Amino acid sequence: MMGFDMSYMLLVMLPGMALSGLASMMVKRTFAKYETVGTSGNLTGAEAARQMLERAGVTDCRIEAVSGRLSDHYDPRDKTLRLSEPVYGQTSVSAIGVACHEAGHALQHAQGYKWLKMRSSLVPVTNISSKMSMPVLMIGMMMLAMAPTLGLWVVLVGCALFAAAVVFSVVTLPVEWDASARAKTAMLDAGIVTQDEADGAGKVLNAAFLTYLAAAISSILTLLYYLHRAGLLRMLFNRR
- Catalytic (active-site) positions: 102
Cα–Cα distance measured from residue 99 to residue 97, given in angstroms and rounded to the nearest whole number: 6
Alpha helices for the chain (secondary structure H): 6-8, 14-35, 45-55, 85-88, 93-110, 114-146, 148-189, 195-229, 232-238
CB 222 within 8 A of CB 12: yes
Q: How many CA atoms lie within 13 A of 106 on its CB side?
A: 32
Cα–Cα distance measured from residue 215 to residue 29, given in angstroms and rounded to the nearest whole number: 19
DSSP 118-185: HHHHHHHHHHHHHHHHHHHHHHHHHHHHH-HHHHHHHHHHHHHHHHHHHHHHHHHHHHHHHHHHHHHH
Show Cβ contacts of residue 238 under 8 Å, excluding neighbours closer than 6 positions: none
Cα–Cα distance measured from residue 8 to residue 61, given in angstroms and rounded to the nearest whole number: 45
183: nearest Cα among 206, 151, 211 = 206
